[in-house]
Amino acid sequence: MPRMLKKPIGTNRNSSFGGGRQTRKKRMGTPGARERTQCRFCRNSIKYIDYKDVSTLQKLLTNRGKIYSRKRSGNCAGCQRKAKKAIKRARYIAILPYTT
């Protein structure tokens, strides 16, 4: 059985487990009151993302040809799936590169 090394209690003052002080500040305002931003496709009420629209699809790719994540591109889940499908179609018919 492996020997377990235990850290003495109370050595780390900044941890939230020991007897250290709490240094977190409370946030002001109501939680979740921030204004929600919409993705670029929902904002313009675009239902279908066209795979032939290269300029729009290139905004969702890195310079090496990788697809940006939802967090980075700002797309909602549904539009990110549509964009992924459109990018893959454009790659298949050689409008967009797979890699650079």
Q: pLDDT of 1-49, one tens digit each?
A: 667 666 666 655 555 555 556 667 666 667 666 777 888 999 999 999 9
b/e per residue, 65-76, with b = 16+ CB within 10 A? Answer: eebeebeebbbe
Residue pointed to by tokens 């209690």: 9
Length of the chain, in residues? 100
Q: Please tell me whether the overall predicted TM-score, pTM, comes out greater than 0.75 for this model.
A: no
Residues whose CB falls within 8 Å of the CB of residue 88, separated by 6 or more in sequence, listed in order: none
Q: Is domain 40-92 in CATH 4.10.640.10, yes or no?
A: yes
DSSP letter (8 states) at residue 61: B
**pLDDT at position 1, please?**
64
**Token reading at 37:** 């931003």
